[in-house]
């Protein structure tokens, strides 16, 4: 292959990576923000008196849920504007890997962080006086659901900015794309799991005999459980680093 | 690309397998452990007196669920460092 053809292939791989990042990465957050709006609307229909609270909580939840697609957009723009400088084939594989990593992570943490937001809207419509603990749990759950997304962003940045050597072989090509797959798909479980845990923690406060006293012990158990639930994504981060830095 | 030997091809396939093993292997334990944590919180809400028992049981269940993630980690490390083609 002459040099012109290689640089065209690299550009095509960058474009594919950018498309995967935003295309796949928008599915989860889009669905999630819609579900969030749905439960807010349902709650307003049931309790029109709470509509201003519900509207505020809906917007806060949706704002936090739109962090993942924003990160995917940043990576896609970096890939699209970095196209011209990329010359070696290994950079093409790295760009595709970066897109897969942030795309899959954005899909999952968008879906995951919308779960507590939807449940918070539903809960506030039924028990408006408890909006403070519900909102706190929602925000903590969303933040933790986006931890794997930060790992994926880190791996994507590393993939894009790691210096490329012209004599890289097939092992380096495969290691780049494998690191992206590992971190991207490895973050799906922890993101959705954290969202589920925060959602069910809100349900727990709703069922408590004295809900005002419930948030302390329930938040403690939720944080303990979530710390354990993050470990699979930490394993995926370790394997991605090993693939990127030792091969 | 004309210089790919059979050994390189096997190493490359092992590296791809390592990423897929850990990537897809992390989905199950992540969702499962999160679900266990959430159900423990819900149960503490219904029965606050049993918080200690529930937290202990949650941690044991999560540890068992974690084992599948550790299998994936071990297989990934083996594929990266042991398979030489």
Structural domains of chain B, count: 1
Identify the CA nearest to B20 among candidates A110, A163, A97, A23: A97
Shortest Cα distance from A120 to chain B (angstroms)? 14
Mean pLDDT of B65-73: 94
Residue extents of the structural domains in chain A: 3-246
CATH code, domain with B62: 1.20.20.10
Residues contacting residue A144 through CB under 8 Å, at least 6 positions apart: A194, A198, A226, A230
Asked if A19 contacts A63 with a C-beta cutoff of 8 angstroms, the reply is no
Of B8, B31, B77, the CB nearest to A189: B31
pLDDT at A3 over 60: no
Indicate the pTM of the whole model: 0.91
CB contact under 8 A, B19 and A178: yes
- Residue A216 is predicted with a pLDDT of 84
pLDDT at A207 over 90: no
Q: Is residue B15 in some structural domain?
A: yes
CB contact under 8 A, B19 and A240: yes
- Residue A15 is predicted with a pLDDT of 92
Mean pLDDT of B3-11: 85
pLDDT at A1 over 60: no
Taken as a whole, chain A contains a residue count of 247
Q: Is residue B27 in some structural domain?
A: yes
- Which residue segment(s) compose the domain that B27 sits in? 7-82
- Residue A4 is predicted with a pLDDT of 64
- Residue B2 is predicted with a pLDDT of 60
- Partners of A238 on chain B (C-beta within 8 Å) are 73
Q: Tens digit of pLDDT for each residue in A165-197?
A: 777 788 889 999 999 999 999 999 999 999 999
Q: Is residue B1 in some structural domain?
A: no
Q: Is residue B37 in some structural domain?
A: yes
- Residue A166 is predicted with a pLDDT of 77
As a whole number of angstroms, the distance between CA A6 and CA A11 comes to 9
CATH of region A3-246: 1.20.120.610
Identify the CA nearest to A177 among candidates A70, A103, A227, A115: A103
pLDDT at B75 over 60: yes
Q: Tens digit of pLDDT for each residue in B34-46?
A: 999 999 999 998 8
Shortest Cα distance from A205 to chain B (angstroms)? 5
Q: Is residue B2 in some structural domain?
A: no
- Partners of B42 on chain A (C-beta within 8 Å) are 200-201, 203-204, 207
Q: Is residue B29 in some structural domain?
A: yes
């Amino acid at each position: 292959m002459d040099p012109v053809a290689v640089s065209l292939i690299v550009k095509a791989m960058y474009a594919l990576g950018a498309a995967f990042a935003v295309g796949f990465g928008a599915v989860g957050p889009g669905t999630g923000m819609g579900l969030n709006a749905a439960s807010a609307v349902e709650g307003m229909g049931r309790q029109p008196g709470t509509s201003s609270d519900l509207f505020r909580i809906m917007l806060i939840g949706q704002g936090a849920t739109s962090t993942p697609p924003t990160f995917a957009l940043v990576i896609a723009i970096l890939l699209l504007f970095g196209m011209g400088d990329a010359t070696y084939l290994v950079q093409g594989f790295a760009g595709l890997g970066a897109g897969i990593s942030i795309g899959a992570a954005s899909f999952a943490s968008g879906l995951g962080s919308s779960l507590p937001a939807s449940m918070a809207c539903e809960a506030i419509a039924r028990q408006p006086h408890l909006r403070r603990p519900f909102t706190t749990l929602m925000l903590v759950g969303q933040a933790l659901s986006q931890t794997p997304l930060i790992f994926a962003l880190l791996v994507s940045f590393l993939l894009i900015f790691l210096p490329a050597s012209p004599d890289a072989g097939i092992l380096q090509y495969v290691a780049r794309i494998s690191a992206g797959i590992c971190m991207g798909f490895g973050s799906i479980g922890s993101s959705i799991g954290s969202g589920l845990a925060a959602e069910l923690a809100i349900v727990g406060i709703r069922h408590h005999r004295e809900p005002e006293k419930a948030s302390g012990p329930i938040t403690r158990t939720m944080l303990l459980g979530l710390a354990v639930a993050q470990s699979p994504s930490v394993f995926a981060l370790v394997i991605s680093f090993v693939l990127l830095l030792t091969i | 690309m004309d210089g790919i030997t059979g050994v390189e091809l096997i190493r490359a396939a092992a590296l791809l397998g390592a990423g897929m093993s850990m990537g897809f292997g992390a989905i199950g334990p992540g969702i499962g452990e999160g679900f266990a944590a959430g159900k423990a919180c819900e149960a503490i809400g219904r029965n606050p007196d049993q918080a200690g028992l529930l937290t202990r049981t949650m941690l044991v269940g999560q540890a068992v669920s974690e084992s599948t993630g550790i299998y994936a980690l071990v297989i990934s490390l083996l594929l990266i460092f042991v398979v030489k083609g």
